[in-house]
Amino acid sequence: MTTARAIVAETPGQLVVRDVQLTDPAPGEVLVRVDTTGICHTDISWASGAVNDRFPVIPGHETSGVVEAVGSAVTRFAPGDRVVAALSHHCGHCYYCESGHPMLCVERTIDHPRVTDRGEHVLQGFGVGGFSTHILVGESSLVSVPDDVPLDVAALVGCAIATGLGSVFTIAQVRPGSRSLVIGAGGIGLSVLMGLHTTGAEQIVVIEPDAARREHALRLGATDALAPGDDRLHSLTDDGFDYAFETAGLTSTIEDAIQLARPGGTIVLIGAPAAHEHFRVPALDFVATQKRLLGCITGDLSPVSDFDRYFRMYARGMLPLDDLVSGTATLDEAAELLSSGVPAGSIRILVHP
């Protein structure tokens, strides 16, 4: 049994920092001492009850750290190894795993009774529960981090980077010379932008309400960065964009992305709307224009191969991932940010428990 200090969302909007108990690692499990966990918007949404109504929960899923102990059947890791959590939590042998889509594995959403708080079972947010001094996860949920990659950067690869780059490389399979649109310039939106930049996109237009984030997008390679409703948008394309990536998770911006894609264009939906939300598509127009509408969950991640590629690209200077870090926080400060929201213009606040 390991005692860990963690943020526990007891009910929507009610967060406390206190000790929880982690069971000893089962044969296929790994105990990790957390180094870094990024504050993702979906953590804030779960803590408020917007995307999930299951409580109590320890939020946090962009998590890196160092292995402290392993179960008897673990073969890939040993104490002292540097690792990052992957959100696939996959079994490795079902149809989806064997066809190259571990993020669709049914094992991914199964809760495991690993954490308790005063005798009550506590959920691990997104299977990780990273706002804690320690996490306990299955061996398949971890990837080794090379020595030349900081654990701060590795944590971001676990969600924002994997989602943004995977949406470009794996989901949309963007072709060089594209005209692309990105709605939202948070951690995932800027990761989409970096992915598009590496593909040789001819035009990358970003729509973002926050002025500081628009400037950030321009520094990372956007050709244009506009506020919502800016009339200049329609002058930047004659018949729409080849690819439109929606990362804000709003029904209004989802519908905008669909409208702004050209005939035959591809729309990728990445943002996480509230569970009850629905969007509308003009049916006949959608059929007649032969647009493609694709969903994206963590970039359809294949953890070992994709993380290795992203780490190598970072090490060669192709992905300026350090530029996504806006600041750091303690667990107590992070609990407040999960309640109040991160400061305007922030991309990723990194929590060091």
Reduced to 3 states (helix: H, G, I; strand: E, B; else coil), residue 307 is helix
Predicted confidence at residue 261, as pLDDT, reads 98
Reduced to 3 states (helix: H, G, I; strand: E, B; else coil), residue 188 is helix
- One digit per residue, the tens of pLDDT, for the chain of length 353 reads 999 999 999 999 999 999 999 999 999 999 999 999 999 999 999 999 888 889 999 999 999 999 999 999 999 999 999 999 999 999 999 999 999 999 999 999 999 999 999 999 999 999 999 999 999 999 999 999 999 999 999 999 999 999 999 999 999 999 999 999 999 999 999 999 999 999 999 999 999 999 999 999 999 999 999 999 999 998 999 899 999 999 999 999 999 999 999 999 999 999 999 888 999 999 999 999 999 999 999 999 999 999 999 999 999 999 999 999 999 999 999 999 999 999 999 999 999 99
Predicted confidence at residue 275, as pLDDT, reads 83
Predicted confidence at residue 29, as pLDDT, reads 98
Query: Residue 168: in which H helix or E strand, if any?
Result: none
Predicted confidence at residue 293, as pLDDT, reads 98
CA torsion, ordered 146, 176, 244, 266, to nearest 10 deg:
-110
What contacts 24+ positions apart, CB below 8 Å, involve 22-27?
Answer: 22/114, 22/115, 22/134, 22/135, 22/136, 23/113, 23/114, 23/115, 23/136, 24/69, 25/69, 25/70, 25/71, 25/74, 25/136, 26/71, 27/71, 27/72, 27/73, 27/74
CA torsion, ordered 259, 263, 267, 273, to nearest 10 deg:
30
Between CA 88 and CA 70 the distance in angstroms is: 19
Question: What is the DSSP secondary structure assignment for residue 210, as one 8-state letter?
Answer: -
Residue 110 near residue 138 (C-beta atoms within 8 A): no
Predicted confidence at residue 276, as pLDDT, reads 87
Predicted confidence at residue 264, as pLDDT, reads 98
Instruction: Kindly tell me the burial class for residue 84, based on how many C-beta atoms sit within 10 Å of its own C-beta (0-12, 13-18, 19 or more).
Output: buried
Other CB atoms closer than 10 Å to residue 230's CB: what's the count?
A: 13
Between CA 299 and CA 40 the distance in angstroms is: 15
> In one letter, which amino acid is 221?
G
In angstroms, how far apart are the furthest CA atoms of the chain?
62
Residue 281 Rama label (left phi>0; alpha psi -120 to 50; beta): beta
Question: What is the DSSP secondary structure assignment for residue 351, as one 8-state letter?
Answer: E
Predicted confidence at residue 3, as pLDDT, reads 98
